[in-house]
Structure 1
Amino acid sequence: MFKVIPYFNFQNALEAIDYYVEYFDAEVVSVTKADHEMFEGASEEFKMSEEEAEKFVMNAEIKILGEPIFISSTWGGKEINNEGAQVAFVFDGDDEEAVGTAGAFFGKASSAAARIHMPLGPAEWTSLFGSFEDKYGIDWMISAN
């Protein structure tokens, strides 16, 4: 069985994780940084200062609305543009609890949005839809099915 899990890179992955925890109520499942002992014998091309290694996320997993998302830092502080990346959360529009959760999520997450594309509300194709772009350029959609 296969799963699709979004994987995002950030210049400062620790900052991004904090952002998603604060505004998206993300749950941090794991964070493995470059200072972990498993990377002690890394080849020279991957070596970094102790200070850099303490802040460099090799891999992290967070959950948003119970769904996994992987995160890591970009090598060499490389700038990254996540513009055009999209994540869609789809839920049962007949489930009152899910509708409430969707509304609460959209309200809190979009409060820190760079831009709201479509406020949460009825749309031609569904009873509830909304979308916004976060400060990292990622578009987030929530939609009743």
Structure 2
Amino acid sequence: MAQINPHINFNGNAEEAFLFYQSVFGGEFVQIMRFKDLASEEFPVPESETNKIMHIALPIGTNILIGNDVPESMGRVNENENRSKIAITAGSREEADKLFNGLSAGGTVEYPMSDSPWGSYFGMFRDKYGIEWMVDFDPKYKGKV
């Protein structure tokens, strides 16, 4: 069954923010990935962004707070406007496709469902109401991150 988790975008201070959230909520990060962890010929990462957070996840109760730094090439996140997405962690590729196709109908696909450079099956879109969503399935975590 799918799980919905909040996902927050940051302008280079995701790690600082998540260390703060961890100090308040407690717990241990289940995943921390930096942009340098993905660097390759097909996914080049500028030196200025290698240590920024690509993905960080902190379990809070039965949900997971997820975040990342937005690469400078994508522009700054307007901190006074929408800087978050709803992240769905699917239990299977089939469920990920069903949710992505259903929710993105009439919306704008930003990243089609595909095998991502970080190893999961991932897609991102803005629905017809302007809400931003990410759908992810990672068999390593069986729908738990």
What is the TM-score normalised by the length of structure 1? 0.47
> Larger Cα Rg: Structure 1 or Structure 2?
1
More helix by share: 1
What is the TM-score normalised by the length of structure 2? 0.47
